[in-house]
């Protein structure tokens, strides 16, 4: 359905002379991504409204999305699977935060962040077969990941210092999800190499 809507919109723009026919597939792909992102934002926003956890959603998104964008890692084979996993993850984070299912002190957060930082430092970025990276891009992404991670840790520590342990916990959980994605991406790459070698 999304693909049909994206195709319809691209064809409409071609008829209006806004884009060229040879660029239709590129624009169609961009429209599909934009529509999927819009749907995900709408769903996560509705969940945040239902759970009364808008701040949690904003914090999680501000930590997770930029870091995940540059770290890379595992990608679902279909966009609907990605959407499902993303929204289930966000719902899980909101439920954990709202009902304080998993609360931890600063020392547990420090230990988790040490493990996560080692993973990010040594693994990121992990490319995907649909988005290979040049050596120059890898170097740039690696540097961006490290700087972004340090800045996020600093901000999380500041929020902890002013008594906002909920923001610290949401940030730590976002980092855990990023690292899980890195690990799963590394496993996928290893599987593909084994299959390719056979």
Taking the chain, what is the end-to-end CA distance rounded to the nearest angstrom?
38
Does residue 46 sit within a domain?
A: no
Could you tell me which residues come within 8 angstroms of residue 176 by beta carbon, excluding any fewer than 6 positions away? 112, 116
Mean pLDDT of the chain: 89
Does residue 69 sit within a domain?
A: yes
In this model, does residue 38 exceed pLDDT 80? yes
* pLDDT tens digits along 7-21: 898 888 889 988 888
Of 132-141, 156-165, 174-183, give the lowest mean pLDDT range.
132-141
Does residue 122 sit within a domain?
A: yes
pTM, two decimals, is: 0.84
* pLDDT tens digits along 65-86: 999 999 988 888 887 888 899 9
Please tell me the predicted confidence (pLDDT) of residue 167. 93
> What is the DSSP code string of 13-45?
HHHTTSS-GGGHHHHHHHHHHHHHHHHHHHHHH
Q: Are residues 21 and 14 in contact, defined by beta-carbon separation less than 8 angstroms?
A: yes
- Domain range enclosing 134: 54-76+102-197
Q: What share of the chain in percent tops pLDDT 90?
A: 59
In this model, does residue 198 exceed pLDDT 60? no
Number of domains in the chain: 1
Does residue 176 sit within a domain?
A: yes
In this model, does residue 194 exceed pLDDT 70? no
Does residue 42 sit within a domain?
A: no
Alpha helical stretches, state H, the chain? 2-15, 24-51, 54-71, 79-98, 106-123, 135-161, 165-197
* CA–CA distance, 187 with 172 (Å, rounded to integer): 23
Does residue 84 sit within a domain?
A: no
Q: Are residues 80 and 43 in contact, defined by beta-carbon separation less than 8 angstroms?
A: no
Does residue 115 sit within a domain?
A: yes
């Amino acid at each position: 359905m999304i693909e049909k809507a994206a195709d319809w919109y691209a064809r409409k723009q071609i008829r209006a002379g806004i884009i060229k026919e040879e660029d239709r597939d590129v624009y169609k792909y961009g429209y599909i991504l934009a529509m999927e992102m819009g749907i995900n934002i709408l769903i996560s926003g509705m969940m945040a409204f239902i759970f009364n956890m808008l701040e949690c959603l904003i914090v999680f998104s501000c930590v997770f999305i930029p870091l995940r964008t540059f770290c890379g890692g595992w990608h679902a084979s279909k966009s609907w699977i990605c959407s499902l996993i993303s929204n289930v993850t966000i719902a899980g984070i909101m439920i954990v935060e709202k009902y304080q299912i998993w609360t931890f002190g600063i020392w547990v957060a420090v230990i988790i962040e040490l493990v996560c930082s080692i993973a990010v430092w040594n693994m990121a970025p992990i490319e995907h077969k649909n988005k290979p990276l040049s050596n120059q891009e890898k170097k740039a992404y690696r540097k961006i990941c490290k700087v972004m991670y340090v800045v996020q840790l600093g901000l999380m520590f500041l929020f902890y210092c002013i008594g906002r342990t909920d923001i610290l916990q949401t940030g730590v959980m976002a980092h855990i999800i990023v690292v899980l994605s890195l690990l799963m991406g590394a496993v996928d790459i290893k599987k593909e190499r084994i299959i390719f070698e056979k």
